Amino acid sequence: MAQVERTLIQSPPELWELVDDDELMRRWSAELLGAPDAEIEVTRRSPGEALGWRPAGEAGAAIELLFAEKGFGTNVTIEARRAGGSEPAEADLEELLDELSSPQKRPFARG
């Protein structure tokens, strides 16, 4: 299983809001695990602490994110493995952490 860890400046609730998203989980599964059109099966969901999923029908493939408060930020660990036991490149996992750490643009609500 490939693993990378980094402290990000966002709080666990902020990060949770970003990652607990079916579209993001499908996209990351396609990028990391080579499962572009698979439905997602959530295997672990502890809001603000851990989120794990796998493409449905892919027994050995999985992605897991772990969050732990650290100072003024959050220590984020991402782990991933492909079916058959092969590992994604750590550089690919680092790119996903870069994505999480970049500012998110949110449109203003109009009412």
CATH number at residue 93: 3.30.530.20
Count the domains in the chain.
1
Nearest one of 48, 55, 68 to 5, comparing CA atoms: 68
Q: Is residue 89 part of a domain?
A: yes
Query: 6-26 pLDDT, tens per residue?
Result: 999 999 999 999 999 999 999
Domain assignment of residue 20, given as a range: 2-101
pLDDT at 111 over 60: no
**pLDDT of 78:** 96
φ and ψ of 74, to 5 deg: -140, 130
Query: 12-70 pLDDT, tens per residue?
Result: 999 999 999 999 999 999 999 988 888 999 999 999 999 999 998 888 899 999 999 99
Mean pLDDT, residues 88-105 taken together? 86
